[in-house]
């Protein structure tokens, strides 16, 4: 896929070592939204992994780590700049499974540009972006 090299470059920079990924986008018959599932090797329990994600995103206005048993849905985010994610562990394969939903027309490039401009200009990060999704 055309985005694989840039994803690997960014992940490698963050990890401090070469990182290879398998990336398979799937086009679904829906008018807007992106669902993504990310898996990675993990030795953490689901509780530990969830705590790590909740801590990492606790101060992020647009990120919600969902409670166990709730899956992210694109329909809940229509018109918003929000991200919903679920954290779980496949104990059979010792893999973390992170499921994420966004409205790519809200949280997409335009929403990200506004969010970045807000930060760069020293105004509230959510200025002009604090709209709840239709399904929220």
pLDDT in the model for residue 30? 84
pLDDT digits (tens, 9 = 90+) for 32-54: 899 999 999 999 999 999 999 99
In this predicted structure, the answer to whether residue 16 has a pLDDT above a threshold of 60 is yes
**Residue 42 contacts residue 96 (beta carbons within 8 Å):** yes
Alpha-carbon distance of 36 to 21, in angstroms, equals 14
Structure token digits, residue 22: 């398998």
Is 2:14 a contact under the CB 8 Å cutoff?
Answer: no
Which pLDDT tens digit goes with each residue over 73-124? 998 888 888 999 999 999 999 999 999 999 988 887 888 899 999 999 999 9
pLDDT given for residue 132 in this prediction: 59
Q: Are residues 34 and 22 in contact, defined by beta-carbon separation less than 8 angstroms? A: no
All domains of the chain, ordered by start, with CATH? Answer: 1-29 (no CATH), 31-136 (3.30.360.10)
- Backbone phi and psi for residue 15, each to the nearest 5 degrees, phi listed first: -75, -25
Please identify which residue in the block is written with the tokens 């780590």. Answer: 65
CA distance 71 to 86: 6
Paired tokens of 111: 């929403």
Output the CA angle 130-132-98, nearest 5 degrees.
100
What SS3 class is residue 65?
strand
d(CA 15, CA 66): 26
């Amino acid at each position: 896929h055309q985005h694989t090299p840039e994803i690997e470059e960014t992940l490698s920079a963050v990890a401090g070592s070469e990182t290879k990924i398998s990336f398979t986008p799937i086009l679904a018959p829906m008018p807007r939204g992106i669902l993504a599932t990310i898996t990675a090797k993990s030795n953490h329990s689901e509780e530990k992994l969830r705590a790590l994600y909740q801590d990492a995103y606790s101060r992020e206005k647009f990120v919600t780590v969902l409670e166990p048993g709730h899956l992210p849905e694109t329909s809940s985010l229509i018109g918003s700049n929000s991200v919903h994610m679920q954290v779980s562990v496949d104990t059979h394969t010792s893999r973390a499974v992170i499921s994420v939903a966004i409205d790519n027309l809200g949280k997409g490039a335009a929403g990200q540009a506004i969010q970045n401009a807000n930060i760069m200009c020293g105004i509230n990060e959510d200025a002009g972006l604090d709209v709840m999704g239709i399904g929220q």
